[in-house]
Amino acid sequence: MPKAKKVTLAQALHHTGGLPDYIRDKKFIKVLVSDPGQYLPPKKLISYVRNKKLTSKPGKKYEYSDTDNIIVGLMAEKVTGIPYTKLLKRQIYRRLGLTRTSLPRTLNMPTPFLRGYEIEAGKAPLDQTKFINPSLAWASGGIVSTLPDLTSFFSGYVPGSLFGNKIRKAQRSWVKGSSSPPGPGSNAAGLALFKYTSKCGTMYGHTGSFPGYRIFAASSADGLKTITYVANAQITEGPVSDLIRKSQVEAVCHALG
């Protein structure tokens, strides 16, 4: 991306690089609507914003962007010479014992899976489970997993068992900003990690949403107390979303005791 030559890896992980979000691009949305089940490679995904201006000067403003996550995945491939899917298996799945986690390229969901729905007042729930290809999110939410695997991931990732204390310390350089959608309590953004401070204490993790799903997963700093929370509908704003955040706070309180 020629407009992003001054954006660093840390800024991309921090969502402070100013990279425009490809999922908001009108051309991408048009292609998506034309065939939600299609596969688009990661370089094609970011091509929709390749020549767009940065939304802000690198390092100056927090703004969550899915493009950041795609760029980080591509950078990992470039540095190691190893495909991202193989890196995930080698560096994460095997080390944390994740046996039901994958990054699919098709609509064929690995079993078992939780069905997700589009909810609209006055209408019957619409099954979204095999409607949009997860690969259209790739490194920004295209992973398919189970609640036990997600729990195992955050209980290992948060305390730093994948990379050690030096990176763990750098990761916790917090700036004001919320995950997308916002998590429980007050949110702060670190490097590929968010801090959620509630009335019962602090947990570290990430939220995410995809048509049919809304996820929150987090762990205590030592990895001993973990929560995974899923709503099988992508409700990210409005009164129901507010209730979801309140229930997440109660879940955090239960986890922290």
Place of tokens 């927090």: 62
- Please state, in angstroms and rounded to a whole number, the distance separating the CA atoms of residues 244 and 110: 27
d(CA 88, CA 67): 19
Give the predicted TM-score (pTM) of the model: 0.95
Return the SS3 of 146.
coil
Tens-digit pLDDT profile for residues 211-248:
999 999 999 999 999 999 999 999 999 999 999 999 99
Count the alpha carbons within 13 Å of 44 in the hemisphere toward its beta carbon: 12
- What are the Cα distances from residue 121, in Å, to 26, 125, 126, 149, 239? 27, 9, 11, 33, 13
CA distance 28 to 24: 7
Going from N- to C-terminal start, the domains of the chain cover: 1-106+131-145, 155-257
Q: pLDDT tens, 6-35? A: 999 999 999 999 999 999 999 999 999 999
Q: pLDDT band for position 5 (50/70/90)?
A: confident
193 in Cβ contact with 172 (< 8 Å): yes
| Residue written as token pair 């729990």 | 151
More reliable by pLDDT, 105 or 110: 105
8: its two tokens: 């660093």
Just give the CATH number of 1-106+131-145.
Answer: 3.40.710.10
Q: In whole angstroms, what is the distance from residue 60 CA to residue 235 CA?
A: 30
